[in-house]
A and B are shown apart, each in its own frame.
Chain A
Amino acid sequence: MNNYILSKKTVVNDFATFYSFLIGLFIAIFIGSVILLIQDQNPINIFSLMIKLSVGSINSLSSSLNKAIPLILAGLGISIMNSVKLWNIGAEGQIFLGAIAVNLIYINTEIYNSTLFIIVLLISGFIGGSICILLPAITKVFFGVNEIITTLLTNYIIIGLTVYLVNGPWKDPKSLNFPAAAYVGDEVYLPTINGKLSSGFLICILFTIGAYYLKEKSVFGYEMRIAGGSAMTALYAGINAKQKTFYAMLFGGGFAGLAGAIELLSQTHRVSIGISQGFGYTAIIVAAITGMRPLGIFLVGCLFGALTIGGTVIQTIGVSSYIADIIQATTLIGALVSQFFFTYQIKEVKNG
């Protein structure tokens, strides 16, 4: 009798992740087309409209890249945390706390120099994100509490806090039906590059390079990988695994917090429940789909930003914007499926 077993391939194609992503995207477009056909829509028309209105002009391209900023930054944070083999499901909450921290500093500080102040605000956003992951980090490092669950639960605590703030202490009487905090003054708006594209995108590029260097080239990145790989190896190498884990988590949270700060200072200009529309969760898809590679996160982040904008614009002609969500999710499913064939082989074993 012949048995089939799975084993990991010893040599995996260098571009496996990239090919998997392309195959996944292809599958997703196919499934998206089927769904559109069922709804009596012409997929070619819809998709070309989506492309035209998301990257067809400088203006729309700028909106797409603006949407990419939180995805990329939060994705980078997730990828840094993954260096120590931990999952950050809490990027959504970290984005919110980043924005809350910015507003907290803003309403309690006198402004002397707005450029300097903007930098201070961005740093407070980063710190806000780090604070958001502080409890999961402490409980992980000292007690070994599962970080997937704690970061996830923190999301709901922070979003609850946001709802409380914008309905209570921070409620702007002028925002009638939509609970929100007061707008920040335009002296702290992030400057735009061409009147539309936020300079936050430049920060994004900077942080992508930074994250790449941190993960792949720096001693800290190397130590993180060892700390995440095996506790024993780390011990022999004299690496304080707990410390690396702790820092990796704070960095991860900080990146997402910065995303919240940029979102507040360049897009929404006020704290409300609309600071993040599930960016933290989409960022997980972005990070996972690229195999946690910073440069990949940057590119896929831009693509997904465009998809989100594309999804929003087709709403105006009566097509559900959820088609964009479905394409994003099925791309990852397709990528996971094809990743399987790149990393595993099915072996035939003769028994008896």
Chain B
Amino acid sequence: MADIQLMGLLNATLQAATLLFIAALGELITEKSGILNLGVEGMISVGAVTGFMTAINTENLFLSILVGVLSASIFSSIHAFVTVILKQDQTVSGLILTILGLALSSLLGKKYVGKKLMIKIESIIDIAEPSNVFEVLLNQNFIFYLAILLMITTSFVLKKTMFGRRLEAVGEDSRASDSMGLKINKTQFIATCVGGAFAGLSGVYLTLSYVPYWTDNMTSGRGWICLALVIFGGWKPYRTAIGALLFGFLEALVPRLQTYGFELSPYLVKIAPYIITIIVLIILTVYKEGKTGAPGNIGRPFFRENR
């Protein structure tokens, strides 16, 4: 019995972590280029609602995922346009993206509240009560495996390919990169839209698998956790994944606390991830003397002064 409970916890942890991780990985890519996008919450929401609407109307899973990913990516291009092309404040623009994204998705999804999905992203093999780790892994759907693939690919692309090196150079020191002839605007624009696409995939995972329905504000702050995750992970894909597992574990743990006989209030446990992130952020900043791994140029617009 204990085993089944434990495996249930693991199962829920992996699902919650997948959702957080994909969007966090996208934000990581965006931030690597020196663009901070505080709009993750809004982008996830847009991806979630458009994916859900497509699923209800077409009952085509592939199309729904595609629409969710693309619409979140297009939505994030607002941020790219305002901050990369027009050089306006990234904090403000990102926040608008969150507010606008939540409002737009509520508006779009109004008629879809309470509708039942005919299709959802199915597990590889559906096991009601997995009893060992292997069964838990099989019980995940393909987006879980896609997330692992994305993690490995992103890490590889960032470290080993020209595109990745250029992306990092742009984010680290855009002035130097510019004099080397790198296309700053193009790189940052692409990175922002890729981040949006990843957030969209998270959103689709949310409405088509994690909680297969739509309601207002169902992202419930997860976008902000993703931002915290990037910092937690020191802007490294693998460490971000570890962070996602930890945060996913806490999210999975909260509703189970009472079954384990803990007296701890579930409301206080929900705060734990945020406190942990602040502590990690402080430790990282102090320990590395200000070098948390953050891209050198993050948050600062780049434009060529008169030469």
Contact = CB atoms under 8 A, between A and B. Distances in A.
Given A156-B274, A160-B274, A333-B78, A143 B282 contact: yes
Contacts of A349: 307
Contacts of A144: 285, 290
A89 interface: yes
B226 to A, nearest CB: 12
Interface residues of B, number: 48
Contacts of B145: none
A320 B106 contact: yes
Given A156-B274, A167-B267, A285-B99, A340 B86 contact: yes
B224 interface: yes
Interface of A: 5-8, 35, 87, 89, 135, 139, 143-146, 148-150, 152-157, 160-161, 163-164, 167-168, 278, 281-282, 284-285, 288, 320, 322-323, 325-326, 328-330, 332-333, 336-337, 339-340, 344, 347, 349
Interface string B83-99: 00011110111011011
Given A145-B285, A285-B99, A160 B107 contact: no
A87 to B, nearest CB: 5
Contacts of B57: none
Given A144-B285, A281-B99, A326-B107, A160 B270 contact: yes
A333 B224 CA distance: 21
Contacts of A160: 267-268, 270-271, 274
B115 to A, nearest CB: 17
Interface stretch (B59-67, B130-138, B298-306): B298-306
B182 interface: no
A258 B99 CA distance: 24
Contacts of A155: 224
Interface in B221-277: 221, 224, 227-228, 231, 265, 267-268, 270-271, 274-275, 277
A143 B286 CA distance: 6
A284 B92 contact: yes
A58 to B, nearest CB: 30
Nearest to A329: B100
Nearest to A136: B278
Contacts of B228: 149, 153
B103 interface: yes
